[in-house]
Amino acid sequence: MIERYNTDEMESLWSQENRFRTWLEVELAVCEAWMKEGVIPEGSLRNILERAEIDQERIKEIEATVHHDMIAFVTAVSEKIGPDGRYLHLGLTSSDVIDTASSLLMVRSLRLILDELELLSREILSKAFRYRHTPCMGRTHGVHAEPITFGFKLLNWYEELRRDQGRLHSALEVMRVGKISGAVGTYAHCPPSVEERACDLLGLARAKVSTQILQRDRHAQVIAALAILGSGLERIAQEVRHLQRTEVIEVLEPFYEGQKGSSAMPHKRNPVICERICGMARLLRGHNLASMENIPLWHERDISHSSVERVVWPDAFNLTHYMLKKTREVVEGMAVLEDRMAKNLDLLKGLVFSQRVLLGLLEKGFSREDAYVIVQEAARISLEKEEPFLEVLEKDPRVGGSFKGQELRSLFDMGYYLRFIDDIFGRFSAGEAVTGDQDVTRKEGLK
């Protein structure tokens, strides 16, 4: 991942130095397991634990000759240990160390992702409760449909992120395994008891069965969960982009003092953060495809997956972590233009109440087909002549003669469309949200 889109936490976790340290973590756990087996003397284990350390320059120097990073790593660490270095990597194949260490890295990365996702979810839920009675236009196909509230829109985001959280937890459990089972997974040179002890020390379950590697459906599930989350973040970012369009301008992403939107047009205030999030989601979906391609390897393994994973894993976690942080920045700092939302609700001069009028005519005895034609024709006239929909309907004798007093006008009550909003919000706990003074009810302005 290029530096521009790294996060400090993920950059540290996936650095080459930490990768070697995690390999060493696995090697030392296996040495301790061998000591319990009576193969490594207790004094030798103490010496190994005290003297084993990473020398990246020495590893690089050895690798330049042997062209094998694990051999270079084991050789360099053994040199630091001295004669007891012969116990390092005992009975192991490279993938025992690499795959078990990769599981640790992915589990730790997923926990960072889940922590950041929780912060974003709480912020969205807080905003959802704050704006739960703020009317705005619901749109389908990009076209005005019927009224909703802005909080209701945010609540949909929140619930999707909760499903993402569940998928990530499932992926974490699937990934929380190690394997210390040798060249083809048969434990020929390292008994199952060593694997069990080593994995226990590392906080991992042991794979019930493996080949030379852990099978890549596990890793694909992790990247798929990240890609789905990324697509959900894109959904949020894309919505803000649409709502920031000049013709809509209901929500604005943060714009900071001194920021400039265009090198040529000083008036521009572009949704660049949200556009960046949308672009990154495309990368994540590409990584998802690459991860699925890594599942069908030859026989007990080949190495075609390795080069892919060196790029995809750190990139996918960096991208996701960065996207989460940026999405939270957008949600925390977005400007919600309630007056503009109210103005847009009346943009079509009442046409959004067409279904209510249609149902009202059905109650008066009209057939559905006849009622639909009447309402559709009135909508066309209202739109073409820019005349209030209610006035057009009142002029139609078929409509005006069917309703008494305020009956027809009562069908243009926005509160009718929003009367179950509190019921929907009642399915969620407000305890995670910031309420109190921010919990502004707006029922007085619904009609």
**CATH assignment of the domain containing 17:** 1.10.275.10
Between the CA of residue 325 and those of 107, 113, 399, what are the distances in Å? 19, 10, 54
CA–CA dist 180, 71 (Å, integer)? 17
CATH number of the domain where residue 110 is located: 1.20.200.10
216 in the same domain as 79: no
CATH number of the domain where residue 399 is located: 1.10.40.30
pLDDT band at residue 347 under the 50/70/90 scheme: very high
Q: Which of 15, 170, 262, 410 is catalytic?
A: 262
Residue 435, pLDDT above cutoff 50: no
Residue 175, pLDDT above cutoff 80: yes
Q: How many DSSP H helices and E strands does the chain contain?
A: 19, 6
Residue 99 lies inside a defined structural domain of this protein: yes
373 in the same domain as 289: no
4 in the same domain as 42: yes
CB 158 within 8 A of CB 327: no
221 in the same domain as 158: yes
> Which of 90, 121, 148 is the last residue before a domain boundary?
90
CA–CA dist 320, 117 (Å, integer)? 10
Residue 416 lies inside a defined structural domain of this protein: no
Task: Give the distance between the most distant pair of CA atoms in the chain.
Answer: 103
295 in the same domain as 169: yes
Is the model more confident about 431 or about 332? 332
Which candidate, 189, 145, 194, 242, places its Cα nearest to that of 28?
194
pLDDT tens for residues 221-259? 999 999 999 999 999 999 999 999 999 999 999 988 888
Query: What pairing do the DSSP bridges indicate for beta strands 251-252 and 335-336?
Result: antiparallel
Q: Residue 233: what residue type?
A: L
Range of the domain at 357: 351-411
Residue 48 lies inside a defined structural domain of this protein: yes
Per-residue pLDDT, averaged over 24-42, amounts to 97
Give the model's pLDDT for residue 264: 81
114 in the same domain as 176: yes
118 in the same domain as 40: no
Residue 115 lies inside a defined structural domain of this protein: yes
pLDDT tens for residues 133-157? 999 999 999 999 999 999 999 999 9
pLDDT band at residue 263 under the 50/70/90 scheme: confident
444 in the same domain as 360: no
Give the model's pLDDT for residue 438: 38
pLDDT band at residue 432 under the 50/70/90 scheme: low
Number of domains in the chain: 3
Residue 37 lies inside a defined structural domain of this protein: yes
Q: Which of 204-218, 253-267, 273-287, 372-386 has the lowest mean pLDDT?
A: 253-267
**What are the phi and psi torsion angles at 206 (to 5°)?**
-100, 145
Residue 261 lies inside a defined structural domain of this protein: no
**Residue that is written with structure tokens 């619901």 in the block:** 138
- Give yes or no: 262 in active site: yes
pLDDT tens for residues 361-407? 999 999 999 999 999 999 999 999 999 999 999 999 999 889 988 99
DSSP letter assigned to residue 353: G
10 in the same domain as 84: yes
199 in the same domain as 285: yes
Q: Which of 141, 299, 307, 429 is catalytic?
A: 141
- Give yes or no: 68 in active site: no
> Which of 55, 74, 90 is the last residue before a domain boundary?
90
pTM: 0.91
Q: What residues contact residue 119 under an 8 Å CB cut-off, 6+ apart?
A: 324, 328
Residue 192, number of CB atoms within 10 A of its CB: 11
Per-residue pLDDT, averaged over 39-61, amounts to 97
> Which of 70, 90, 110 is the last residue before a domain boundary?
90
CA–CA dist 249, 344 (Å, integer)? 9
86 in the same domain as 229: no
Which helix (H) or strand (E) is 176 found in, with range? none
207 in the same domain as 230: yes
